[in-house]
């Protein structure tokens, strides 16, 4: 099969931990052709189809640094490949949003895109949890400083975060003393012009912010607990959290079993559920990670599970 990965620049990949690289490596092992492009390469012209200009066919070298060779560069119509894998990392900004519309047009022309671009638009990673209130902590979404103060008065210890953050960016904790609540609120809601998410602080974060991967509606049997280090309240690997693979807890398995089939039916082949304690905190759909960490620590081949699910989806579509 011919696979097109829409991703960030390959030269910046950290191959020892990059999930897209793990997908590519497993795809190459299975004999699939690897093509890559960046989001900025997507082009549509009236009377033509959505293409990736300057798409590169690559082979993997097995080296840590110069890890790929570009063997061909061409203009490639997305409908002419077997699958398009949208692996552009967040943030989900305007350019990402526009790219999903180009990918939707490519689908109209016959392309098969994973994750489904319409589902990417419909599931913003922080707000998607609102559909599943039975699994989440006390949560408020608002622009209102008064509403935030009232939420703090009720719950005492809270977390505030922007809706477009990634990698733990812009996350604040305010304890019972309310210290700096006003200043933090002003910073995040930009004087009432930006919407903020506020949640009750979950002390279980000390045991890790768990990443539960769901592929084709089925949970990977291990999570990656991202454990805050030192005085840090955030477990994100991007800010120094320690990643420890663990078997799923009964609660994590329950959440994955409830959400997995629903999200898969919407075209979300790969989802990363974030769970702290017993509570779902985010639903990651743009470019979920942690394949390599889980595989290295447990021996469970997450990339193989993903490629098997992708191949099954393509065979089903072809039938």
Catalytic residues: 126, 161, 211, 226, 234, 274, 282, 284
Main-chain dihedrals φ then ψ at residue 200, nearest 5 degrees? -60, 135
Mutual angle of helices 19-29 and 291-298, in 10-degree steps: 70
**44 to 51, 75, 121, 272: CA distances (angstroms):** 6, 12, 19, 31
Torsion-angle region of residue 161: left (phi > 0), alpha (psi -120 to 50) or beta? beta
| Cβ 125 vs Cβ 163: under 8 Å | no
What's the rounded Cα separation, in Å, for the pair 174 and 171? Answer: 10
Tokens linked to 28:
């190459």
**144 to 126, 133, 197: CA distances (angstroms):** 18, 21, 11
Q: What share of the chain is helix, strand, coil (3-state, %, to 5)?
A: 35, 30, 35
**How many CA atoms within 13 Å lie on the side-chain side of 154?**
12
What's the rounded Cα separation, in Å, for the pair 28 and 57? Answer: 12
Cα dihedral sign, 126-131-137-140: positive
What's the rounded Cα separation, in Å, for the pair 278 and 211? Answer: 13
């Amino acid at each position: 099969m011919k696979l097109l990965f829409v991703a960030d620049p390959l030269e910046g990949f950290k191959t020892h931990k990059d999930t897209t690289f793990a997908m590519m490596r497993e795809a190459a092992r299975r004999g699939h052709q690897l093509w890559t492009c960046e989001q900025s390469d997507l082009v549509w012209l009236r009377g033509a189809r959505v293409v990736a200009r300057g798409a590169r066919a690559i082979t993997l070298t097995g080296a840590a640094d110069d890890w790929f060779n570009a063997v061909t560069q061409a203009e490639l119509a997305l409908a002419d490949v077997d699958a398009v894998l949208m692996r552009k990392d967040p943030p989900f900004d305007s350019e990402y949003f526009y790219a999903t519309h180009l990918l939707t047009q490519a689908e109209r022309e016959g392309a098969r895109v994973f994750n489904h671009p319409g589902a990417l638009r419909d599931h913003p990673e922080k707000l998607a949890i609102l559909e599943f209130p039975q699994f989440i902590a006390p949560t408020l979404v608002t622009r209102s400083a008064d509403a935030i103060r009232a939420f703090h008065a009720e719950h005492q210890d809270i977390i505030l975060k922007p809706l477009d953050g990634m990698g733990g960016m812009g996350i604040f904790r305010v304890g019972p003393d309310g210290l700096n609540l006003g200043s933090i609120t002003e910073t995040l809601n930009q004087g009432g012009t930006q919407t903020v998410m506020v949640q009750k602080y979950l002390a279980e974060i000390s045991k890790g912010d768990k990443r539960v991967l769901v592929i084709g509606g089925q949970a990977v049997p291990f999570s990656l607990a991202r454990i805050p280090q030192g005085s840090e309240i955030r477990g994100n690997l991007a800010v120094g959290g320690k990643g420890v693979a663990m078997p799923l807890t009964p609660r994590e398995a329950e959440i994955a079993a409830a959400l997995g089939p629903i999200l898969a039916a919407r075209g979300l082949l790969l989802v990363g559920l974030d769970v702290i304690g017993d509570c779902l905190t985010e639903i990651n759909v743009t470019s979920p990670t942690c394949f390599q960490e889980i595989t290295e620590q447990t021996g469970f081949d997450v990339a193989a599970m993903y490629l098997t699910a992708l191949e099954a989806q393509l065979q089903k579509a072809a039938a």
